[in-house]
C-alpha cells in the first residue's frame, strides 16, 4: 500500500515552540485590558543593600557555582519589587527600580528566615553583624512581613551548579540539577555562600 508523502511547508518556520509562523501572516498586537501591566522575567537589577532596605515579594531562587570560587555556591533569590528599591545593574549603575519589576537578591546566611516567605510581601534590611568564630562575621538581617501574612516555601527552581554540588542548600529544590547534593542546613557563616556577585547570571 502506497502512502502519500507529506508536503513540506515552504512559507513558514518553526518558532521553537512547535508553532509555525509565516511572513504572509504577521503576528497581531493586542492592547492590555485596562488596569493590566506588562510583566517580564528580566531582572531590573540586584538589591544594593548598602543603599537601604528592600521591600519585595520573593518568588523563587536559583543556584550557581560562584564565579570567583567555583567550589562555593551562590544563591540568587528572584522577587517582585514592592514600590521602589535600590538596585545595581550589570553595568554597575545604581538606581531605584520600579514597583512590579523583577529584582535579584544574593542570598546570605543571615537571610535564612526567607525560607518560608515566598509569595508574601517582605521588608528586609541589614541589622548588624554576628561573631561566629570565623575570620569574617556574619551579616544579620531584620526580616518583616505584614500581620497574618502566610508565606509558602521558597524553592530553588533552577540549579546550575557543576563544581559546588557538595554544598548543602538553604532552601529546598524543585526541578533541581540531576546530580545536586541533598538538601540540608546551610552553614551559619559566609564560607559556603558567596553572595556578593554583582554580575547577571
Tell me the percentage of the chain whose pLDDT exceeds 70.
Answer: 72
Per-residue pLDDT band for 197 (boundaries 50, 70, 90) equals: very low
pLDDT for 160 beyond 70: yes
At residue 199, the pLDDT reads 41
Q: What does the CA dihedral 33, 34, 36, 37 come to, rounded to 10 degrees?
A: 110
Average pLDDT estimate for 18-38:
69
Alpha carbon distance 177, 50 (integer Å):
33
Alpha carbon distance 189, 80 (integer Å):
27
pLDDT in tens, 76-132: 999 999 999 999 988 889 999 999 999 999 999 999 999 999 999 999 999 999 998
Spatial CA neighbour of 112 closest among 175, 197, 188? 188
Would you kindly state where each structural domain of the chain is located, as residue ranges? 39-191
Amino acid at each position: 500500500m502506497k502512502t502519500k508523502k507529506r508536503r513540506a511547508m515552504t512559507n513558514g518556520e518553526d518558532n521553537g515552540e512547535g508553532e509555525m509562523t509565516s511572513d504572509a501572516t504577521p503576528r497581531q498586537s493586542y492592547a492590555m485590558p485596562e488596569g493590566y501591566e506588562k510583566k517580564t522575567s528580566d531582572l531590573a537589577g540586584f538589591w544594593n543593600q548598602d543603599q537601604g532596605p528592600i521591600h519585595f515579594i520573593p518568588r523563587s531562587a536559583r543556584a550557581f557555582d560562584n564565579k570567583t570560587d567555583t567550589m562555593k555556591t551562590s544563591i540568587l533569590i528572584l522577587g517582585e519589587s514592592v514600590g521602589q528599591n535600590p538596585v545595581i545593574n550589570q553595568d554597575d549603575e545604581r538606581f531605584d527600580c520600579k514597583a512590579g519589576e523583577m529584582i535579584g537578591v544574593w542570598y546570605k546566611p543571615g537571610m535564612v528566615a526567607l525560607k518560608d516567605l515566598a509569595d508574601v510581601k517582605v521588608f528586609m534590611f541589614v541589622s548588624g553583624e554576628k561573631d561566629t568564630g570565623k575570620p569574617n562575621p556574619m551579616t544579620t538581617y531584620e526580616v518583616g512581613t505584614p500581620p497574618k501574612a502566610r508565606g509558602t516555601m521558597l524553592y530553588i527552581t533552577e540549579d546550575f551548579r557543576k563544581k559546588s554540588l557538595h554544598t548543602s542548600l538553604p532552601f529546598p529544590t524543585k526541578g533541581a540539577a540531576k546530580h545536586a547534593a541533598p538538601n540540608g542546613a546551610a552553614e551559619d557563616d559566609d564560607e559556603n555562600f558567596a553572595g556578593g556577585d554583582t554580575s547577571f547570571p
